[in-house]
Structure 1
Amino acid sequence: MRVLLVGGGGREHALATGIAASPKLSKLFCAPGNAGIAALAECVAIGAEDITALVAFARAQAIDLVVAGPEAPLTLGLADACAEAAIPCFGPTAAAARLEGSKTFTKEVADAAEVPTAAWARFEDADAARAYIQERGAPIVVKADGLAAGKGVVVAETTEEAEVAIADFMESRVHGAAGASVVIEECLMGEEISFFALCDGTHALPFGAAQDHKRAFDGDAGPNTGGMGAYSPPPAFTDALRDEVMAHFIRPTLAEMARRGTPFRGVLFAGLMLTARGPKLIEFNVRFGDPECEALIPRLDSDLLEALHAAATGRLAETRLAWRPLHSMVVVMATKGYPGNYTKGSTIRGLDAAAAIPNTHIFHAGTATKDSAIIATGGRVLAITATGTTLRDARDTAYAAIDAIDWPEGFCRRDIGWRALG
């Protein structure tokens, strides 16, 4: 199979690693890719949101499967354009991708499918949103309705914090048009879990769970980020809970999407809160999580490419997945200043020494090659991943690899996995 992988982050490097291991692969391209992906695929200089150029390239290269990594090309219609060109695409149509592109749409689908979720209300007027916050009190959650690169959520401990979020989202437009309307939710308490299921429009197949760490600093302090680390599997997510989520969250959502005439194909990412009253839906995403994907792929003991192709072509009913009996941990190394302002272009050394540590995977997220050196080009730059027979083993290996890396301009959290390890 000739495959075009779209994206250039740590998630895409993990997907490229899994796809490249498939005996069914004949050629892997990645657009635009990064310095790490370049060792596995031919990187092409096409932006992930340039739908016209991506499909033209896929036609010219006789691509058998397009795999969308990030959500933006999906909300812009990559899968629709691939369908018009008769090219299978792993990822939902633009209409189905609204499950991530609109918080309101997700809530409406969840309510229609009777998926347990937080109480919510939508606002287009900032003063009305403030009045609702004062009526409901804190803690309370404020979400930009549209796509905000994983940063459009504020868990406000006070009504004052919530009102600042309203001003930032709706009036200052810190996330652009994504904040023109907001969804305000009750604050759910418990453990947060990321659960993934491959979907082919009709059938769904569990693809594992992970626990992400969103805050920038140790002790879950600091601002929300795109994710500073993850581990899999989370001890709190049992097989019984997996079956419950499939029965009451994933399959009803698939049925509701099909009923609306927008069947969902790709990966459905359910952000869940394990509350005292059972699991509740926080959000749906329409792509693999990042850094959760980096935690899941090293544990997979099946052909990833075959599974993705089965989802894209409606053949999941005949597909089975096997998993290695391993724990994995991902620790993200980010440029100092992230998620605020940061400087690009610093040199990263020691990656070969880190990669030589057994059971370690160095996934590149925001890197490029300059004068034979690896430089940082983004906020989240590396996803250092390790596996082990226990989570503690995986953690120790991941941090040993980090200690082998020479990058003074970078930082990471030192407490990834603290909930499970105590």
Structure 2
Amino acid sequence: MTKILLVGNGAREHAIAETLEKSRHRPRIYAYMKANNPGILTYAEGVELGSYSATRQIAAFAKKVGVEFAIIGPEEPLKHGVADALAKEGIPCIGPKRILAQLETSKSFTRSLLDTYKIPGNPLFASFTRESIANADAFVRDIGQFVVKPDGLTGGKGVWVQGDHFRTKEEGIAYARECLQDHPRVIIEEKLEGEEFSLQCLTDGETVVAMPAVQDHKRAFEDDKGPNTGGMGSYSCPDHLLPFLTRKDVEEGLEITKKVCRALYEEAGDPYIGVMYGGFMKTKKGVRLIEYNARFGDPETMNILPILKTDFVDICRAMIDSKLETVGIEFAKKATVCKYIVPEGYPSNPAKGGKIEVDESADAYFYYAAVEGKEDGIHMSPSRAVGVVGIADTLEEAERIAEDGCSRVKGKVYHRRDIGTRQLIQKRIDHMDSIMKP
């Protein structure tokens, strides 16, 4: 009997657990979580609760139950070196070692990697420390509008864009200095104009396979207003492209990821095994890299794994054994729409501990995120609560299913009703058309 360790307690990990459960190998799932996720608990044979920085505890749990391999869901355990601790116990992992996870945990590392290996996709950028931040004034004078990014994990909320989060160059540099109070470096780069898309890729360190493209929605409120979040929802299309993307755009993003994968091996001497999730932007000058994540996306995982037709355990084994090229990975030609249920007041002043009731009798899929199952029911944290996913032949029908599912979550909650709607998607198409005009 195959035993698998799943690290993480969010909606992404709930979707991973569900996908593993569908495998013909009938694996036993053992979950290491920070809190009791009620969705994951329905699939888990055994559970241990603890911190993601407790690398020895996680490795000891994996060894005790005798898992064949582990899957790391969130970025935090990757940052702390959980994959390294598991490797010392002889346990392979879907998730990179700490040095390779810098792809996500250090934006300056990734920008410099592309620069060093002459990989296309970088905007104009510069990295600053407390000692060199005085040089930022001269840099921003030459690049027009710009973006400020702390060098480290910020949960998708640390990036400030001129015109959205600050107006003047002086305000941007002031924020850069503020970032240096908590981070060793800050990156300032030119502001790109275009539409973003998520391209998650599976890799064994040599072969790189792209999954269907997804578009995420970071802004908290409808019509893309409000502060950034970890992601309020996302959609994908039956042709595995997006309405504003061509096959060539996706191939361009995939080619960048393939070159980055090879560069990582050159740098570390170790294969990157896991998910390379590229956040890209289609611009008038081609596809540009916004950032990489070193794991499955959240919410994008909930769009992609439910339509995976190939056995996920077979894929994981092939990645571990460096045989990914032998597996024909297939996804159903379906449209998907994911909408996140969040506490009222999210993200600035969210209610904490509120109880929710979920009627799962709808056609939608429900994936539990930062909630905790207690004796009296499901309680929210200040973060995202439930990912609700509609899957259908068309985007219109998938959005209808997702919206119906959202209406069945009762409590002091909010969600973006516009995600996946024709009106919002047309706005993205029109935006891209205006940029691509000669």
Q: TM-score normalised by the shorter chain: which range applies?
A: over 0.9
Matches within 5 A, 1:124-273: 124-125=129-130, 127-128=133-134, 130-132=136-138, 134-136=140-142, 138-157=144-163, 160=167, 163-164=170-171, 166-168=173-175, 170-171=177-178, 177=182, 179-233=183-237, 234-247=242-255, 249-260=256-267, 261-273=269-281
Tell me the number of residue pairs that the alignment of Structure 1 and Structure 2 aligns: 413
Shift of 1:113: 4.1
SS at match of 1:97: helix
Give deviations 1:64-118, integer Å, cap 9, x for gaps: 1110001111121111111111111001111111111111110011122422221
Mapped to 2, the partners of 1:241 and 1:122 lie a distance apart of 28
SS for the counterpart of 1:386 is strand
| Change in CA separation of 1:166 and 1:337 when aligned onto 2, cut-off 3 Å | farther
Does 2:425 match 1:420? yes
1:20 has 2:25 as partner: no
Offset at residue 388 of structure 1 (A): 0.9
Shift of 1:59: 0.5
Alignment pair present for 1:91 and 2:99: no
Find the aligned partners of 1:306 and 1:47 in 2 and give their Cα distance. 29
Please give the alpha-carbon distance, in whole angstroms, between the structure 2 residues aligned to 1:194 and 1:295. Answer: 11
Q: Secondary structure at the match of 1:219?
A: coil
1:328-386 deviations in Å (ceiling 9; x for gaps): 0100111122222322111112x12xx2122x110000111223311112411111111
Matched with 2:107 is 103
Structure 1 residue 338 and structure 2 residue 342: aligned?
no
Work out the CA distance in 2 between the residues paired with 1:161 and 1:399: 39
CA distance in 1, matches of 2:38, 2:138: 47
Which residue, 345, 357, 380 being the options, matches 2:362?
A: 357
Which residue among 304, 313, 317 is the counterpart of 2:321?
313
Q: Is the 8 A contact 2:196 2:215 kept in 1?
A: yes
Find the counterpart in structure 2 of residue 119 from structure 1: 124
2:289 and 2:245 map into 1 onto residues whose CA distance is 14
Aligned-residue RMSD, C-alpha: 2.0
State the Cα distance separating 1:139 from its structure 2 match: 2.9
Aligned match of 1:282: 290
- 1:255 maps to a residue whose letter is R
Q: Secondary structure at the match of 1:380?
A: coil
SS of equivalent to 1:415: coil
Q: Give, as a single letter, the amino acid of the residue that structure 2 aligns with 1:284.
A: Y
Among residues 296, 312, 330, which one is paired with 2:304 in the alignment?
296
**Contact preservation (8 Å) 1:90, 1:266:** yes
**Any idea what SS the aligned residue of 1:290 has?**
coil
Distance apart, 1:238 and its partner CA: 3.5
Structure 2 unmatched runs, 5+ = 428-438
Equivalent residue letter for 1:149: G
State how far apart, in whole Å, the 2-side matches of 1:399 and 1:93 are: 39
Q: What displacement does 1:38 show?
A: 1.1
Contact 2:137/2:173 (<8 A) preserved: no
Change (3 A) 1:132 1:14: farther
Separation in 2, partners of 1:166, 1:258: 35
Q: What secondary structure does 1:122 align onto?
A: strand
Q: Specify which of 366, 375, 382 is matched with residue 379 of structure 2.
A: 375
2:334, 2:393 within 8 Å by CA — same for their partners in 1?
Answer: yes
Q: Is the 8 A contact 1:3 1:64 kept in 2?
A: yes
Counterpart residue identity of residue 250, structure 1: T
Instruction: Name the counterpart of 2:42.
Output: 39
Q: Is the 8 A contact 1:214 1:228 kept in 2?
A: yes
Change over 3 Å in CA distance of 1:110–1:137 after alignment to 2: closer
Give the conservation status (yes or no) of the 8 Å contact 2:20–2:27: no
Identify which range, 83-92 or 73-82, moves more after superposition.
Answer: 73-82
Shift of 1:395: 0.5
The 1:129/1:307 distance shift into structure 2, 3 A limit, reads farther
SS for the counterpart of 1:272 is strand
SS in 2 for 1:363: strand
Correspondence for 2:10: 9
2-structure distance, mates of 1:18, 1:115: 34
Letter matched to residue 12 of structure 1:
E
- CA shift for structure 1 position 134: 4.9
SS state at 1:348 partner: strand
With normalisation by structure 1, the TM-score equals 0.92
Task: Give the conservation status (yes or no) of the 8 Å contact 1:212–1:231.
Answer: yes
Distance 2:351 2:169 in 1: 30
Task: Verify the 8 A CA contact 1:143 1:182 in the aligned structure 2.
Answer: yes
Deviations 1:285-340 (A, max 9, x none): 10111001111111111112221232233221211111111100100111122222
The 1:333/1:166 distance shift into structure 2, 3 A limit, reads: farther
Identity, % of aligned positions: 33
